[in-house]
Amino acid sequence: MANSVLIAYASKYGATKEIAEKIGEVLLQSGLEIEIKPTDSVKDVSSYTAVVLGSAVYVGKWRKQAVKFLKAKSKTLADMPVWIFSSGPTGRGDPVELLKGWRYPDKIQAYIDEINPRDVTVFHGNIDVGKINAIERQMIKTVEAHTGDFRDWTAIQSWAEGVADNLS
């Protein structure tokens, strides 16, 4: 889709997909053409005007599909406006503070540097105990993560409005 914004995401249980959909809704309302796709279904990004890339975070790591997307498309992404978000921390307070300043995995630093995104942010996540497996439940206990939906839709909308303003 020429002159459109790709919102690519990697989600395990759907919470990050829902964030991507909210961002898409805001961009659409501001008059932008959008396409929302899982990262592993995106073949080419060169036909888009801009890209918003998001990944769920598990134990300090992005989903493999998001990392693969970033590595494969970094050269093209470096020549266009890109915004990046992570979703993951649960609990009260600023998500970046909850992650002790972390905004993305160290493993992707070189790609972030190459792409030079317009903004990188972290949104609170959602841990639905009804969807996770026994190993994940044990990990949550070990790291003392809070369960429940902590996504801040106002913060997500506000960030998406900033993206839309930048592209208008």
Domains of the chain by residue range: 4-161
What are the backbone dihedrals phi and psi of residue 30, each rounded to the nearest 5 degrees, phi first?
A: -90, 10
The most confident of 68-82, 92-106, 118-132, 134-148, by mean pLDDT: 68-82
Residue predicted with more confidence, 64 or 130: 64
Fold of domain 4-161 = Rossmann fold (3.40.50)
The answer, yes or no, to whether residue 107 has pLDDT greater than 90, is: no
- Please report, for residues 62, 86, 135, 138, 164, the alpha-carbon distance to residue 141 in angstroms, rounded to integers and kept in the order given: 20, 22, 10, 5, 39
Residue 1: pLDDT above 60?
no
* Contact of 125 with 86, CB cutoff 8 Å: no
Say how far apart CA 28 and CA 168 lie, in whole Å.
Answer: 12
Q: If you search the block for the tokens 């600023």, which residue do you land on? A: 94
Q: Are 56 and 87 in contact (CB under 8 A)?
A: yes
Query: Is 115:74 a contact under the CB 8 Å cutoff?
Result: yes
Give the whole-angstrom CA distance, residue 71 versus residue 64: 11
pLDDT of 112 above 80: yes
For 147, the token pair is 């369960």
- pTM tops 0.85: yes
Which tokens belong to 127? 């841990």
Pick from 52, 19, 61: nearest CA to 34: 52
